[in-house]
Amino acid sequence: MSEKALKKAMDFMENEKQFHLGFLPTEQSNPMTADLDKEFAKSFSDGVRNLQSVDRNVQEMAKRIFKSDEFEKLVADGEKTVRNGGRIVFSGCGATGRLSILLECMWRDCCAKNKNAEIYSNNVFSIMTGGDYALVKSVEFFEDYQVFGKRQVQELDLNSNDMLVAITEGGETSSVLGSVFEALDRKCKVFLMFNNPADLLADNLERSCRAIRNPDVTVLDLFCGPMALAGSTRMQATTSEQLIAGGALESIFNRLTGLESPDYAAEFEKLLDGLASPESVDAMAEYIGFEAEIYKQKGLITYFANDYLLDIFTDTTERSPTFMLPPFRKNDDKISPRPWAFVKNPLFNTVDTWRNGMHRNLRCLEWETPDYEAMGIEPTLSNNPPKIKASELLKFEVGNESPSDRISNHSDAAVLITVGNDFCDEKLKNAFNDVSKIFNTAKYLSVGGSAVADFSIPCKIPSSPLNIMGHMAVKLVLNTISTGTMAVLGRITGNWMSWVNVSNKKLMDRGVRLISEIGHVDYKTACIMLYESIEELENSYDESKEQISVVQHVLKKLGR
């Protein structure tokens, strides 16, 4: 191997131990799904039930948290903040960053539809590491920098009248903790939500300890065990955070408007029961078979939706780093492979899709080289900053333009997704029927409600101001469908995401541990082989082809 690769491997092992996270439960294999790949090989319905079994751990956690003093403080402080004209700001990265944007947009949508609440529209904001651009395409390496989180808090100009709710699945994400430290300096009320045991984090990671053991930070420890797919915190970790943060936000809205809040833990349990019914399981299993077959034939899937577009974006975007799938492609890029799955709104063009879905202007990072230099970022990044401005985000055509770009061969499919009573929207259905004519296959996936659909998941979704359970339902269904499809296609080993993209320090450590676990070698050997393979693949990079998983490349060398 090259001296350069060996040096990088040794540096990661010796100097980046704060990113060696195998001791965290969210990074470990869940024994309940240890044979997930075999369950899907046995039958798709068995695989679905195996995945769903881990969601019950979220249910047990929710019963505890919704009754806790910390949750009551979150709601009470949130109500007080809004009444005093302050802002509630959610901060996250990756899956939790997309959740933060979703929470803000749920609030804004609710206020836009309720005349009595319009005055509160601008009281909830979000900070996504990498800005709104990262909603559509991951900017994974940004999470390694605390200074980026601090800078985004500065740009929102938070003050003592505001409140920050920081969400990090593992409890250790540097950029999110950076937003915590800056908000504390600015005398904001600060809450921190995560999914690993608080003492375990504080005892082992200095950056986590600084936040968790700060008396000015209210901690909500949502620990509910390892993920159904090892390390994939887009699943149960973010599910629990969406449930708790969403329940808190709706409770704040209810107190402001004089409404009663339901028992969210009980409603979530009913939702899980509905999704676990034989009819729902079989519908999801059937859909997994349908989508997997499209991909086997080298076809593309295009989801179409309106009200729940952001929810679908979240799951679809996260498939790229989790399973090494081609990321979303801009309209001026005719070289990169098309993403296997994409999301479009058949009713509006791209600009109007964002405006109607977010109820605000795009909030992207307009940073230039001097900004990165001022933050002390190394020249390799500051001299070639990522293209993540609003003008770049708008190049992803998520509206009804250019549907033909989603046609690759005779096997491409258009899928309309509706949630609850969405199926009553005749304009949506008519627009989908028009745009889907050029696709070889058009299908209809209904989550909840009573629609007659090709794939109907008949769970009951109670209505509420922020439609909490509707958003929970679509998340649970899409997590199950996307993970199940990848299991069927062989991109999961046991319950390990063995095709992960090692695009930041946390994922680098995860890749090393995957090689060690599956390849039966020690951590040092796995690390050296990983860096050696990164160098090999960089030398053979072809932007017109799908990229090879470095982890898979090493495992093949090991005969695994």
Helices (H), 157-308: 174-185, 198-204, 206-212, 236-257, 264-275, 278-296
Distance (Å, whole) CA 506 – CA 138: 14
Q: Which residues contact 445 (CB under 8 A, 6 or more apart)?
A: 287, 415, 416, 417, 418, 453, 454, 455, 457
325 with 345, same domain: the answer is: yes
How confident is the model over 140-153, as pLDDT tens digits? Answer: 689 999 999 999 99
How confident is the model over 206-217, as pLDDT tens digits? Answer: 999 999 999 999
Which pLDDT does position 390 carry in this prediction?
Answer: 97
Residue 178 lies in a domain: yes
How confident is the model over 64-102, as pLDDT tens digits? Answer: 999 999 999 999 999 999 999 999 999 999 999 999 999
How confident is the model over 121-173, as pLDDT tens digits? Answer: 999 999 999 999 999 988 868 999 999 999 999 999 999 999 999 999 999 99
Residue 122 lies in a domain: yes
Query: What does pLDDT average to over the chain?
Result: 95
Residue 246 lies in a domain: yes
Which pLDDT does position 493 carry in this prediction?
Answer: 95
Determine the average pLDDT of the residues in 474-486: 98
Which pLDDT does position 473 carry in this prediction?
Answer: 98
516 with 482, same domain: the answer is: no
pTM, full prediction: 0.96
Which pLDDT does position 541 carry in this prediction?
Answer: 85
Q: Which residues contact 332 (CB under 8 A, 6 or more apart)?
A: 395
> What domain range includes position 424?
42-47+267-488
CA 237 to centroid of chain Cα atoms: 10
Residue 399 CA: distances (Å) to CA of 23, 343, 346, 512: 43, 9, 6, 39
69 with 144, same domain: the answer is: yes
Which pLDDT does position 195 carry in this prediction?
Answer: 98
Distance (Å, whole) CA 519 – CA 370: 44
22 with 105, same domain: the answer is: no
CA 551 to centroid of chain Cα atoms: 22
Determine the average pLDDT of the residues in 415-434: 88
Q: Domain boundary at 472, 488, 504, which?
A: 488
Which pLDDT does position 140 carry in this prediction?
Answer: 67
Residue 511 lies in a domain: yes
Distance (Å, whole) CA 289 – CA 481: 9
Residue 548 lies in a domain: yes
Task: Identify the helix (H) or strand (E) that includes residue 317.
Answer: helix 309-323
How confident is the model over 236-278, as pLDDT tens digits? Answer: 999 999 999 999 999 999 999 999 999 999 999 999 999 999 9
By residue count, the chain amounts to: 560
- Of residues 180 and 543, more confidence is placed in 180
Distance (Å, whole) CA 225 – CA 57: 7
426 with 483, same domain: the answer is: yes
Determine the average pLDDT of the residues in 496-519: 94
First-residue to last-residue Cα distance in the chain: 21
Determine the average pLDDT of the residues in 169-195: 98
346 with 407, same domain: the answer is: yes
**Domain total in the chain:** 3
Q: How confident is the model at residue 423 (pLDDT cuts 50, 70, 90)?
A: low
Residue 532 lies in a domain: yes
Over 90: is that where the pLDDT of 450 sits? no
Strand, helix or coil for residue 207: helix
413 with 500, same domain: the answer is: no
Q: Domain boundary at 432, 464, 488, which?
A: 488
395 with 277, same domain: the answer is: yes
Strand, helix or coil for residue 166: strand
Q: How confident is the model at residue 560 (pLDDT cuts 50, 70, 90)?
A: confident
Nearest of 546, 344, 493 to residue 34 by alpha carbon: 493
Which pLDDT does position 380 carry in this prediction?
Answer: 87
What percent of the chain is modeled with pLDDT above 90?
A: 93
333 with 234, same domain: the answer is: no
Nearest of 307, 246, 253 to residue 121 by alpha carbon: 253
Distance (Å, whole) CA 70 – CA 68: 5
What percent of the chain is modeled with pLDDT above 70?
A: 99
454 with 416, same domain: the answer is: yes
233 with 306, same domain: the answer is: no
Residue 36 lies in a domain: no
Residue 34 lies in a domain: no
Structure tokens at 31: 């024994």
Half-sphere exposure of 336 (CA within 13 A, CB side): 13
Q: Domain boundary at 439, 458, 488, which?
A: 488
CA 162 to centroid of chain Cα atoms: 25
Which pLDDT does position 422 carry in this prediction?
Answer: 65
482 with 550, same domain: the answer is: no
CATH number of 420's domain = 3.40.50.10490
What strand order describes the sheet that includes 413-419? 341-344, 301-304, 413-419, 441-447, 455-457
Which pLDDT does position 410 carry in this prediction?
Answer: 87
Task: Identify the helix (H) or strand (E) that includes residue 158.
Answer: none
